[in-house]
Each structure stands twice: as structure tokens, then as C-alpha cells.
Amino acid sequence: MRTSDIEVHDDAPLGTLADVALALNDPRATRADLTGNKAAALARAAGARLPVLPGFVVLPAGTAHRGRDLHECWRELSDEGRTPLVVRSSSAAEDTADSSMAGRFASVLDVRGWDAFREALRTVRASGEGHLAVLVQPLLRSRVGGVLFGADPVAGRTDRLRLSAVPGGPDRLVGGALPGTDLTLTPHGRPVAPGAAGGPLLTGAELRRLAALARRARRLFGGPQDIEFGFAEHGGRLWLFQSRPITAMAARPPRGARLLGPGPIAETLPGVLRPLEEDLWVVPMAHGLATALDLAGAAPRRTLRGVPVVTTVGGRAVADLALLGLVPPRRGLAARLNPGPPLRRLRAAWRVGRLRVVLPQLATALQADVDRQLAEAPAPAGLTPAALVSALRWSRATLVALHAQEALAGALLAEDRPGGGAAAALAALHHGRAEGLTDAQLTAARPEVLALVPPSLTEPLRLPDRGAAGTGPGTGTLGTREALRLRIRWVHAFQVAVVREAAVRSVGAERMALLRWPELLSVTRGGPPPADLAQRRPPRDGPPLPDAFRLGEGGVVIALPAAGPQAGQGVSGGRVLGVAWDGTDEPPRDAVLVTRTLDPALAPLLPRLTGLVAQTGSSLSHLALLARELGLAVVTGAAGAVDRFPPGTPVLLDGATGEVTATGPAADAAAEVRP
């Protein structure tokens, strides 16, 4: 076939015989600026002898380049119209390392005849407003096809392959028509899950061929690839239909990342904390618990010095669950042979024995000292700046001792008295409400009611409307641990009063809560506030943290997978609160679209969403890929989601674990609906 000397100019009509094509084996076809990323990648793959179907690229309309005559290219590739073709977009804007734009432009399958080909060319070009190249290849009848990722983008692992396959061509998978058979593979094609295999779709030999293709593509393009493939219906040959960089890899925790969670810490500090609240309440708690763990021999001192037992993530207090003994220890051979833990426990045994005897007396003395100090403390308004600083220092040191003894009491002492701080607080609240006392009067007369509300530097104190009937135990009859916990809350309240007084004299309560501990002491003494204080902002009040999670790069929360018959598959990370929406009418604020499948037609709705829940659909489909690029939380395989979460239902969605639950007043009603 001869080379044409045609030059195409800006005024050339769309899809005319003036269009120029380049064969995929033409060296110029590897230029992405000329043929688009999709065609350029296939041209490079073909040059590297990867299994690429023959084809040609129709250059963008208005491009001045010499090439082959379009009609002759069509005649040769289609065998005079007897072989059906596939006509697809190939834009320089799609299939990049940052954005796949998956499914954004049109593709036309099973194109037969010259007139149908011309119409398909117009359709594809129109989807990109005419400014894109068009890739043309024969239509392959596939026995099985799908998508193969040279890494696991959902788990963020580069040492795993992620595969989803369907009967027929990959278009049925990426278009959301079928959910596909999903497998996670080793780099050499072995299924990771014990006993898993390709089932009736793929044999072990075919899985190994796919893994080899992924390795070759990775070497060629310099990184793991998102590959569309198909095994021919006749002969079973493997063909590569598309190769592009993997976008939006999920975060992965580094090796040895700690297992964190709210645990029992949320009982004391359930909400989002300001920076000064973290320094006033979380830091002393961490030091106190570390002291208790050290005395009990529960953790090595090197570990306790290196990592805080309690810290904050997104302003919420969390604990190291392993240090608190809330997760089982590792039982590997190295752990069994390690002499450190038994020796540490042996050295601590005598201390623990003595602590059991003396702890009640120590706790009683500490409680008496706290009660005396609080009773004798003058009103903060009458304190000098130096006295305010002294009060703050005393309160912080006292919290360390209270937290240490409270933790030891919980671990070593059996409570010998009925009831607890909450029961006493509810009884006091009931009697106070019956007497008509205001919140301020009630907290002054019955301070045990403070156990019912968390501390806050900025929020006004609001007690519940009513408490439980009954007398309840008084504070003097509480067990050791409960009495210590109550004193912790009283010291919190004392700190709030002192800090608010210091704020009145300086920067105000809202700004004061954005300071750190050293800055608080400086401002309280009369020093100037930090220069950037006006630009500081409090942490955002987001969804609650998972019960157990690890932190990835950049502080990303990576939760443990959800379990249960209705748990879905996490597709795109993120933990969000939103409102269920069915896609009709105007979306609510923080809309979570709940649908039956990942239909590519939903793509225009994605920028308006907070999250997406689908009953079926592949994590490797076009819509899932776009959602990951947009940072949306997405869950697929959520059984009965459309019925369980009708429009307007508040939902908690975790795109990493697959957790989808109804929250708020609608939770009970939604829980009654079963698919």
C-alpha cells in the first residue's frame, strides 16, 4: 500500500477522505502527542513483541501530518469489510499517570462496512469534541477477557496482581454489565487465597501467562500497568487490548505500623479535640498509662519511651491497642523464644504483688490530696498570672498520677463495691433535676454529674435532661478505680475554668484552644500570642474512626477489613458520613449514591458525591477507577444496599474496609430491612 502525500488542515471536515492514518507499526505511532496515549502505548507494546492486535490510528482532525490513506487502511484491516472492527478514542489527555479518564470518550464495537466505519469515526471524535486520535483494530471474539492490574490498587500493594475476568470481552466488565471473577495473584500468577483458582474461566496456565504479560508490560513502561486483555475464542491466544499506568493507588501502612483504635479512650474523650485539649488531656493520659504499663511489666521501657500509648488522629484520641493488651500477641517462633517478656514479667512480679497491697492506700491518699487542692483553690478570677500557671502545672502533673493509678486499679484490683461513677452521676442528676437545679448549680452541689459529659474548652456545659431514678452510691462508696476516674473528670473541669480565665485576659476561648502547652504558659504569663494564631483553624469534625486501623503515608487511616454476610468490598479508600441518594432529583449535602451496579453512565454524578455504594460491580471497572482518582469512598458487593439504605438514610461508609452502616435516627429502621 502506498504512502499518501495528503496534508490535513484545520478546515478539513470531520471524518472525510482527507483523514490520515498511521499503522501501529509505524515508528511515529509511538508519539503520544500525535496518536494519543492509548495508541502510543499499544504501538510501543507491539514494537516490544507483546501480543497486540494489528491496527491503525486516525490522526486528530486538523493535524498536518503525512500518513496512509484512510480508506486503504480500512480495506486492508477489515478485509474489504468482512472483518468487524473496534473504533476507540486515543486522547493525549487520557491514560496518563495521573488520570485515566476511563470511559469518558466513546468506543464503538462490531463496526462493519465503510459507511458504518465513517459513522463510528464521527461518534468517537464527537465524544472528544473532535480533538483526539482514533484507534482502529479488529474485533476479537474472546472466550474470556478482563482487566489485570500489575499491582493491587485497592490494598496498595505492588507485590500483588489484581485480576477481574468475565466471559467474553473486557468491555462487559469495565462497563459494569458483569461483576467479574476477582482474584489476587502473586507476581508469578498464583492465587493468594488458599484454594482459590480461576474457576471455570481461567486455568492455572492462563493465570501464569497473564502474570508474565504483567511483568513484561511493567518492564517496558517502567511501572505496573492497568491492562485490558482477552483470550481468543478460537485458539486461546492471549491478546493485549490496552495498557496504561495504574492511577490512584491506595495507601498502605508501612511495615510494623501500630494497630490503633479509640478503645476505652473514647469513653473519656469521645469527640474531636482542639490542639490545647490534646496537650491538656491526651498527653497526661499517655504518660500515666505508660507509667502503669511499666510498673506492671506489660511492655518494655524502650517501647514505652519510643511510642505514645495514647495519641490523636485527626483530632480524635486513640490508643495503641497492642500496648493496652486489646489484641492478641504474636505467637511466632521468634516470639516464643524471646526471653525478654518472661524476664520483664518476672522482674515486675514483686512490684505487682506489693502494688496489690499498697495501691488502695495510695489511691485513697491521692484522692484526698486532689479533693483538698480543688476545695482550697481560689476562684480563677482572683489568681495572678503566676498562680494561673502554677494551677495549670499542678493539674497536668496530677492527671498523670490519676491515670496511672486508675489503670493499675483496673488491672490489679477487683471492685468490691456495687455501682460506678456513671450510676452515681445519673442518680445525682435525677435528684438535682427534681430539685429544679440549673446545670451550674447541679455541678457545684453534685460534681459527680460531670462523669456524664466529656470535657471541652470551647463548648458550654450541658447536662442531660434527666437521670435515672434511685439513690445510687455516693462518691464516698465508689470503688477505687471509679473514684479515681471521677477525680480525673474533676481535674478536667478545674483546668477548663483556669484556661477560660486566662483566655478572658488574652486571646479568647476559641483562639486559646488552638494553642499548644508551651504557648499557653507564655500567654498566661502575659506574653504575646503566636504570630500565626489568627490563621490557625480547628480540626474538622469528620466521621468516627474505625475500631482498629493503621496509619499509612501522610497519616491516611487504613482500617481492617469488615466482616459479615452483608460486608461489601472496599474499592476506594476514605471513611465518610453522608446521606443515601438514589440519583434522582437534587442530591443532598454529602450525598452517597446507592445503586445496583457501577454503571459508567453514572460518571457525571461522581464530582457531586461524597461516596458510592453498589450492590454489584468490579473494583477494576471504569467507574471504580474514576472514583479512586476523585478520592471518593466506594464500596461494591454491598448485599441489598438499595433496600437497606433508602434515600435520606444517614450512612457511615468506609471505602477501605467495605463497611456500610446506617447511622442516626434512621439506623434502626434501616436495620430491619433485609434483602
Q: State yes or no: pLDDT of 630 exceeds 50.
A: yes
User: Cell numbers 507564655 correspond to what residue?
Assistant: 522
**Distance from C-alpha of 622 to C-alpha of 614, rounded to nearest angstrom:** 14
pLDDT exceeds 90 at position 624:
no
Which of 160-174, 469-483, 541-555 bottoms out in mean pLDDT, i.e. has the lowest? Answer: 469-483
Residue 9 confidence class, pLDDT cut points 50, 70, 90: very low
**Range scoring the smallest mean pLDDT among 458-472, 482-496, 509-523, 636-650:** 458-472
For residue 466, pLDDT over 80 is answered with no
How confident is the model at residue 18, as a pLDDT? Answer: 53
Domains assigned to the chain: 20-138 (3.30.1490.20), 142-245 (3.30.470.20), 252-327 (no CATH), 562-671 (3.50.30.10)
Q: What share of the chain is helix, strand, coil (3-state, %, to 5)?
A: 40, 15, 40
Spatial distance between the Cα atoms of 457 and 492, rounded to a whole number of angstroms: 10
Are 176 and 597 in contact, with CB atoms under 8 Å apart? yes
Residue 96 has pLDDT above 70, yes or no: no
User: Is 580 in contact with 594 (CB distance < 8 Å)?
Assistant: yes
Contacting residues for 336 by C-beta, under 8 A, at least 6 apart: none
**At residue 221, does pLDDT exceed 70?**
yes
Per-residue pLDDT band for 627 (boundaries 50, 70, 90) equals: confident
Residue 137, H or E segment: strand 133-138
Q: What is the DSSP string of 163-207?
A: EEEEES-THHHHTTS---EEEEE-TTS-BSSTT---TTT--HHHH
Q: How confident is the model at residue 195 (pLDDT cuts 50, 70, 90)?
A: low
Whether pLDDT at 384 is above 80 = yes
pLDDT for the residue 138: 96
Backbone angles phi, psi at 565, to 5 degrees: -65, -25
* Predicted local confidence at residue 286, as pLDDT: 96
Average pLDDT along the chain:
84
Range with the lowest mean pLDDT among 436-445, 561-570, 655-664? 561-570
For 175-191, what is each residue's pLDDT tens digit? 766 778 889 999 999 99
Query: pLDDT tens digits for 273-303?
Result: 999 999 999 999 999 999 999 888 778 888 8
Confidence of residue 431 (pLDDT cuts 50, 70, 90): confident
What confidence category does residue 337 fall into, taking pLDDT thresholds of 50, 70 and 90? Answer: very low
Q: Would the pLDDT of 267 be above 90?
A: no
How many residues would you count in the chain?
A: 675
Task: Assess contact for 77 and 138: CB atoms under 8 A.
Answer: yes
Pairwise CA distance, residues 651 & 667, whole Å: 8
Which three cell numbers mark 449? 454529674
33-91: pLDDT as tens digits: 899 999 999 999 999 999 999 999 999 876 767 788 899 999 999 999 999 999 999 98
- 460, burial (CB in 10 Å: exposed 0-12, middle 13-18, buried 19+): exposed
Give the pLDDT mean for 202-206: 94
Q: What is the mean pLDDT of residues 302-308?
A: 89
Q: Give the Cα separation of 558 and 253 in Å (integer).
A: 7
Report the b/e string of 167-179 with b at 16+ CB within 10 A: bbbbbbbbbbbbb
d(CA 552, CA 522): 35
Average pLDDT over residues 364-371: 96
CA 162 to CA 423: how far, in whole Å?
53
Q: Work out the pLDDT band at 470, boundaries 50, 70, 90.
A: low
| Contact (Cβ atoms closer than 8 angstroms) between residue 290 and residue 324 | no
pLDDT over 70 (residue 609): yes
Question: In the 8-state DSSP scheme, what is residue 50?
Answer: -
In 594-660, where does DSSP find H-type helix?
622-630, 641-644
**Over 70: is that where the pLDDT of 333 sits?**
no
Question: In the structure, what pLDDT confidence band is assigned to residue 417 with cuts at 50, 70 and 90?
Answer: low
Task: Give the residue among 592, 598, 603 at the shortest CA–CA distance from 619.
Answer: 598
| pLDDT of residue 529 exceeding 50 | yes
Residue 166 has pLDDT above 80, yes or no: yes
Q: What is the mean pLDDT of residues 461-474?
A: 64
Looking at residue 255, what is its pLDDT?
83
